[in-house]
Amino acid sequence: MPLYEDWTAEPVNEKMQEICNNLASESQLTKTEIWLPGSKAYIASRVRYFKQTALRPACVAVPTQPHGLQRLIQLIGKERIPFGVSSGQHHSNIGFSSTAGGLQIDMRQFKDLKLSKDKSYVDVGPGLTWYEVYRMLEGTGVQVVGGRTQSVGVGGFLAGGGGMGWSTNVHGMTVNTALEAELVTPQGEIKTVSYSNDPDLFWALRGGGNKFGIVFRWRLQTHEQAKIVYGGMRIYPQSRKKVINQAMVNFLSNNTDPGAQLIISYGVAYKLIGIICLQVYYPHQDPGSIFSEFDVERVGKAWSDSWGPTTFADSVGTSYTEMHANQRSLMDEQNFQNFHSVALLNAAADLSYEYGRKWFIKGRFMPLSQSICSIAIEPFQQGWGAQFKETQGVYPYHNSPMPIILLFYWKNARDDEYFTQTARFMIDRLRQIAIEEGQDLSNFPAYPNYAQADRTPEGLFGKENWERLRGLQKRYDPENVMGLTKYFS
């Protein structure tokens, strides 16, 4: 789908203007702030991580309490109002968390975090980012499975795919740790659901997208967490590609400690052509010799090196992609069986370097200091998904997928289709290499939080889960209220 600028300029019709004005007049009663076009708050609210998703709503509603959210959903259903719901404003697909000409519901005020007395679970609001959650839990001795990028919001992370984190090897995805959810249903009812009282709806909420209501509280199981862990970021020159990739393959082949995680990203960024290694050892601050494959004697000296003792929150805060918020950008992914092939990793690196150079040599896009062409390798331990079958959400990960993520940034809307097609070519090329090496990729659905909008629901959730999800949509939302916002279709 093209990401054209005119998506942001859809005119607001008279009916929506009247609805927004009426909502503003009752804002004190409903405890819901209403931001109208032209106000500073409205303008500021349209700044998003992915610039092309910054559509122009008729107004922005910011509920502060559940009954205000309830009023909004009841009104949406009655008047058939197109709408969007956002928490961290981090989704890459147009309309999935925003709306053009409709009602934007902004969940930023649902930021409560309450840890149980025995510290076995924590209640979190969807308006929190994962960095805020980690910070608020520091010093308690516990943490949760959450996002690996600091500005990702709780709400979309859980509903949109289920959530992969630094501790997924041990504790699964975030949806595996969810104990209950409190939401406003499409009928405008406030309801608490869990495995015991409504297992079907609870399953659908955990990764099934924005089609079953709006969750305003998640209860998540906690796990023990040391105050200081080991983590950080290293940046290597492109010339170290082969030794870094061999080190990565050796690490993945030999490491048996599930607490040790590495992400390698190849790309052209900040006038540099290089390799970024993000690393976290989350059990404590002494990984011993686990990462010895990356010792300077083996891979050479990094341009920049922040690996060392740190807090868990700060280890998440090292992601270089945060510097490019509010740019035109694209994210897509492909899952693999494993990354035990140096040839596959070399191919990923070469694709990022080749196309990154092409963009800049042409001079058609951003200056070097404002551009990124990145391909990231996100491995987990072999077989990680098999141990969490009993608590699996909608996204089927029982075959333990390993994602490669493409992330591009650019300036001009006229180049949107070029980047979309480039992403598809890269994914097809990497798939071809893996298949030629013997990988069976026939049953590896794309992860919804990373996938482009043109992916089919069956290609995301699998045929069986998609059929179940469709049936549950008809049961829990017979009037298709949630169909007034966008998702994969």
Decide: residue 38, CB within 10 A, 0-12 exposed, 13-18 middle, 19+ buried: exposed
186-238 tens-digit pLDDT: 999 999 999 999 999 999 999 999 999 999 999 999 999 998 999 999 999 99
The predicted structure's pLDDT at residue 478 = 97
Helix axes 66-79, 14-25, angle to 10 degrees: 150
**pTM to 2 decimals?**
0.92
Structural domains in the chain plus CATH codes: 5-106 (3.30.465.10), 113-225 (3.30.465.10), 229-457 (3.40.462.20)
Q: In this predicted model, which residue has the larger pLDDT, 112 or 51?
A: 112
Which pLDDT score, from 0 to 100, does residue 330 have? Answer: 87
pLDDT mean over 312-332: 72
- When pLDDT is cut at 50, 70 and 90, the band that residue 322 belongs to is low
Q: What is the pLDDT of residue 320?
A: 55
CA dist., res. 369 & res. 359, Å (int): 13
- Those residues whose C-beta lies under 8 Å from the C-beta of residue 58, and which sit 6 or more positions away, are 12, 13, 16, 17, 19, 20, 37, 101, 102, 103
Residue 366 reports pLDDT greater than 70: no
pLDDT digits (tens, 9 = 90+) for 12-23: 688 999 999 999
Q: Is residue 116 over pLDDT 80? A: yes
Strands 83-86 and 178-184: unpaired
Predicted confidence band of residue 278 (pLDDT cuts 50, 70, 90): very high
Q: Is 47 helix (H, G, I), strand (E, B) or coil?
A: coil
Per-residue model confidence (pLDDT) at position 321: 54
Q: Which amino acid is at 264?
A: I
326 pLDDT more than 70: no
Residue bearing the bigger pLDDT, 223 or 270: 223
d(CA 143, CA 136): 10
Whole-number Å distance between alpha carbons of 471 and 453? 22
- Which helix (H) or strand (E) segment is 172 a member of? none
pLDDT at res. 10: 54
User: 232: which strand partners?
Assistant: 279
pLDDT digits (tens, 9 = 90+) for 74-110: 999 999 999 999 988 888 888 899 999 999 999 999 9
Check whether 369 has a pLDDT greater than 50: no
What pLDDT score does 5 carry? Answer: 37
When pLDDT is averaged across residues 120-146 and rounded to a whole number, the result is 96
pLDDT at 28: 87
The pLDDT of residue 359 is above 70 = no
Give the rounded percent of residues in the chain with a pLDDT score beyond 90: 70
Tell me the per-residue pLDDT of 452-481, one tens digit each, with 9 for 90 and over: 888 999 999 999 999 999 999 999 999 999
**What is the pLDDT, as a whole number, of residue 204?**
97
Contact 309, 427 (CB under 8 A): no
Strands (E), 206-245: 214-221, 223-224, 229-237
Query: H/E/C letters for each residue in 415-473?
Result: HHHHHHHHHHHHHHHHHHHHHHCCCCCCCCCCCCCCCCCCCCHHHHHCHHHHHHHHHHH
430-464 burial code (b ≥16 CB/10 A, e <16): bbebbeeeebeeeebbbbbbbbbbebebebbbbee
Q: How far is residue 357's CA from residue 246's CA, in Å, rounded to a whole number?
A: 24
